[in-house]
Chains A and B, each alone.
Chain A
């Protein structure tokens, strides 16, 4: 990855972090707010494959952990797994309909929230399992589903992948959209 592309990735992470902290945390639906930091690894996993999804998950998860009181490192672990899992499905790169990206993001977000609460309970934070988990899951999944397509496009721009291609090892050098 060239310095320019690395800069783009850092820029996207920074912008999403600011939007999350300054806007999304205030946007409460029945006490739950969206989680864009979880959308980052999903988008990067969809567009760039499992390895990039996992790496982005680790970074965005650690950043998210800085601002919350839940066990430190838990978001990093969960987001890594989600990014990797999404990358394994290969959704976006297989072509498919326009609905593949939003649907994958919705399902992966829901799975991520449930996994987060479940692992939280496993490390001694049992209250995470019943604290309006259903509401949180729905809010995060729906918002991430809606924002999945533009975020995936941003991820493609950051990694300079022009359009969905069959194999992510194939160096795609076409211009970003």
Chain B
């Protein structure tokens, strides 16, 4: 072996490594090893959790300090605005409590599921996406706390995404803005149905399959449809209509949504312990 011609060795190594990589991609792509790969990914997340927490504890206050110092003025005005909004919402909450109670009673009699009756696990966001080509977040809780893959994740106000990897102490959530995310939506008094597709981090969510004659109002709230075999329960707010209109010569409306949840600044979320019914 010592007499192997040296000039061909790097190419042989390259060939071997490329073949290995292509084999791994193929096996992963065909889904034969999904459980194995997911468990390895989970182990990697678990192994990394303590290091990440330790480094995060050191770096986060520094980042927060600079962030806070830079935005002190805007924080003050935001605080005042939030106070005003808070008092307005308190009044509104009192008014809607009665309506909600009767709505729940109605759902109960009709034996329908409702998103707000599903038990949730609160979790903290510890990291952003590790990839530039994916909109995801990492949570500080995992299987040990009752989180499993496929569970929907919400923040106080609306849909965030769903769990795609769950290890013992960590879980990865694919956001609704990820280009591979599709959510069935329902909107309007007639209960029109459509599909909300992500367009990447920071970009609004695109809503497909709305016929031109269906009225869509700016600012209208869209909810998960929760149809049979849907990956989300019904009635979770997704976003408000940002733009709508029928492009010339098109057979469907061009509608975009601004997600209700502030996906760029998520700190705490709730994981719904809910699995799609097959």
Q: Which residues of A contact B (CB under 8 A)?
A: 18, 20-23, 25-26, 28, 31-33, 35, 49-51, 54-55, 57-58, 61-62, 64, 66-74, 76-77, 80-81, 84, 87, 113, 116-117, 120, 123-125, 127-128, 131-132, 136, 139-140, 169
Q: 11 A-B pairs, CB-CB below 8 angstroms?
A: A18-B51, A20-B130, A31-B201, A51-B14, A66-B44, A67-B130, A72-B24, A72-B25, A73-B23, A77-B21, A123-B25
Cβ–Cβ < 8 Å partners of B25 in chain A: 71-74, 77, 123
Query: Could you tell me if A32 and B51 are in contact, using CB atoms closer than 8 angstroms?
Result: no
Interchain CA distance A31-B132 in the complex, whole Å: 8
Which one of B55-63, B88-96, B236-244 is at the A interface?
Answer: B55-63
Judge whether B45 is part of the interface by a CB distance below 8 angstroms. Answer: yes
A78: min CB distance to chain B, Å = 8
Interface of chain A: mostly helix, strand, loop or mixed = helix
| Closest A residue, CB atoms, query B12 | A51
- Which residue of A28, A61, A69, A131 is within 8 Å of B172 (Cβ)? A69
Cα separation A67 to B49 with both chains bound (whole Å): 12
B13/A54 in contact, CB under 8 A: yes
B8-43 vs A, CB cutoff 8 Å, 1 = contact: the mask equals 011001100110111111001100000001001100
B119 at interface, CB cutoff 8 A? no
Number of A-B contacts (CB under 8 A): 133
B277 at the A/B interface (Cβ < 8 Å)?
no
Known contacts A70-B133, A73-B24; A127/B200 CB under 8 A: yes
Nearest A residue (CB) for B25: A73
Q: How many residues of B contact A (CB 8 A)?
A: 45
The reply to whether A67 and B10 contact each other, CB–CB distance below 8 Å, is: no
Min Cβ gap B122→A in Å is 22
Residue-wise, chain B 134-146 has the 8 Å CB interface mask toward A (1 for contact) of: 1010000000000
Q: What's the least CB distance linking B72 to chain A, in Å?
A: 21
- Besides A21-B51, A26-B128, 8 other A-B contacts (C-beta < 8 A): A68-B129, A69-B131, A72-B24, A72-B37, A73-B25, A77-B18, A80-B21, A117-B133
Taking A21-B52, A49-B10, A58-B20 as contacts, is the C-beta distance between A69 and B136 under 8 angstroms?
yes
B179-A31 in contact (CB<8A): no
Q: Which residues of B contact A57 (CB under 8 A)?
A: 17
